[in-house]
Structure 1
């Protein structure tokens, strides 16, 4: 009986490397048209291939799916944890004491930008840019935001403490700089 040859060894440089594909690349490989892929990623906030492909399949017969019209975006800071709990209690009390008003239609948030248009083909870059900004300023962000109540005849809510508002302004300015490079 003949001896088997030793297994082949490939140099490290010739080993196959696993390439990480973007959501766009994966959906294009699935056969979806590029403009529709970009639209699905924009519509789902680039939250994954599965969600985008589900959106595409749900909108196959949508007559406006191929329109090239930029979407309007706005940048919000939304609370989580104990701050969210406190704000929800505030919303419930204001509803009981004052009745329903337009503020009850919105999730609690701090507005960091006005509306701005973004073409569907730029949403992936927009999301990457936003995450880059957050990484750059994350160390400056306070652990807890200090909110100061404000009540007038036309408005009832909270404002962020002025010192902490400077950090939020910096996030907004950094994001705008990043966005302008798109």
Structure 2
């Protein structure tokens, strides 16, 4: 199990961090990489209005590019160390750039150094895409506040990215926390069994 690279992907306000915390008791010894975006925002001293895509598109692109670079570095570090991990983002920053800034911003991101190697490894990783639910939408004063329709549109962008790069993913459609955990753990057991590992 420890060798699996697991991503919990999806829009903000879908409960990704909650899912990861709910999974931890069942995945002892697995390294966890979370809250990259929050760390970067805090490191710059930014407030939410500072990087709003309509008012500050340059800062919005910078933020998502830095998140993408951090994800690439984390993925590479864990790969070189030959350890599995659980991460709360995948190609998510690229989906944000395409949705809010347009296809030109996405194409700039596609040329990010190290991305092609990461994409090759993502094709053999396990990616769970959390579908938006109205009950999960909240305002934490850090992230964008979006409508359910916007979150669903974002999910569509993300799915299109995975299709573009031939990256398989598993949709997690339910809301209930325990159902989400049970669904993910069952999939991981089946995946690990096929690899001759144990969960």
TM over 0.5: no
Mark the structure with the bigger radius of gyration: 1
Give the TM-score normalised by the residue count of structure 1: 0.23
Give the TM-score normalised by the residue count of structure 2: 0.21
Whichever structure has more helix as a proportion of its residues is: 2
